[in-house]
Chains A and B, each alone.
Chain A
Amino acid sequence: MVEKKDPWAIPDIGPETEEKKSESGADAFDATQWHEVKKGETLWKIAEQYYGDGNLYQKIFDANRDVLKDPNRINIGQKLRIP
């Protein structure tokens, strides 16, 4: 079975510099789910993991516009909010 080609695949370009720090611990009611980007991951793959549907990658991109400028560019170690 051939894996569907991921249009958002990016090369491993090292640790993220604009890392979004987790807010957990500061707020006892914080229900934010965070995902730390691993090597080879894309927004598409992350959307598949959390939503079952890579097409919904835009939801993750929109929730992280403060740290993402381009859905094609996410970096290893970057912490993304999963809405």
Chain B
Amino acid sequence: MHRHLSSFTSMLLVAILVAACGSADKGPAETALKAAEEAINSAKGEASKYVPDQVSSLDSALAATREKLSKGDYKAVLSEAPALTSKAQEIASAAAAKKAELTKSWEGLSSGMPRVVEAIKSRVDILSQSKKLPAGMSAETLAQAKAGLSEITQQWTAATEASKGGNLMDAVAKASSVKVKAAEVLTLLKMPVPEALKS
């Protein structure tokens, strides 16, 4: 009986110790998670614009770690929170790099594309005044070029507005579709396609 009691006491002590240790991890776990949340929130502003997929993935990981905190799995939180903080810093760097890349792309497009559009417009205007179209060009081809020019003009306006609104991703995406359409129209008009529109 005495032996059984002793064994029970030992087990109880172990259980209390484990619980005490777990409880001791609670504060550090909360602190670590808070630091991770702060790092993520700080990175989110720009990162949501430039690397939204990575932000979404990080949000999911944060939610999973929060869940572990609420379930008392402090050791897991202590293990995962620093990784979340590191990932937030990586994402902030990735967003800055993407922003720089998009800014460079936009600068090139915004200085070059208006000249391409102007060249197309000039040719369409002249051909519209022609009494007879050049060899190999039908009225239908010219109509297609005019429709293409209209589409290009609208898309370019939308790209410029997106840029002014700070949405470089959208601006570059729209400008890239203008590039593709402009190359098509130049080909229809039998005009040379600039190098920048071939890539």
Contacts and interface: CB of A to CB of B under 8 A. Distances in A.
Contact of B196 (A29, A32, A51, A52): A29
Q: How large is the interface on A (under 10, 10 to 19, 20 to 34, 35 or more residues)?
A: 10 to 19
A24 B108 CA distance: 17
Chief secondary structure at chain A's binding surface: loop
Nearest to B193: A31
Interface in A46-62: 48-53, 55-56, 59
Given A52-B130, A52-B135, A52-B137, A83 B115 contact: no
Q: How large is the interface on B (under 10, 10 to 19, 20 to 34, 35 or more residues)?
A: 20 to 34
Chief secondary structure at chain B's binding surface: helix
27 contacts: A28-B196, A29-B111, A29-B113, A29-B196, A30-B115, A30-B194, A31-B116, A31-B120, A31-B186, A31-B192, A31-B193, A31-B194, A32-B119, A33-B192, A48-B134, A49-B135, A50-B134, A50-B190, A51-B126, A52-B130, A52-B131, A52-B133, A52-B134, A53-B130, A53-B131, A55-B131, A59-B126
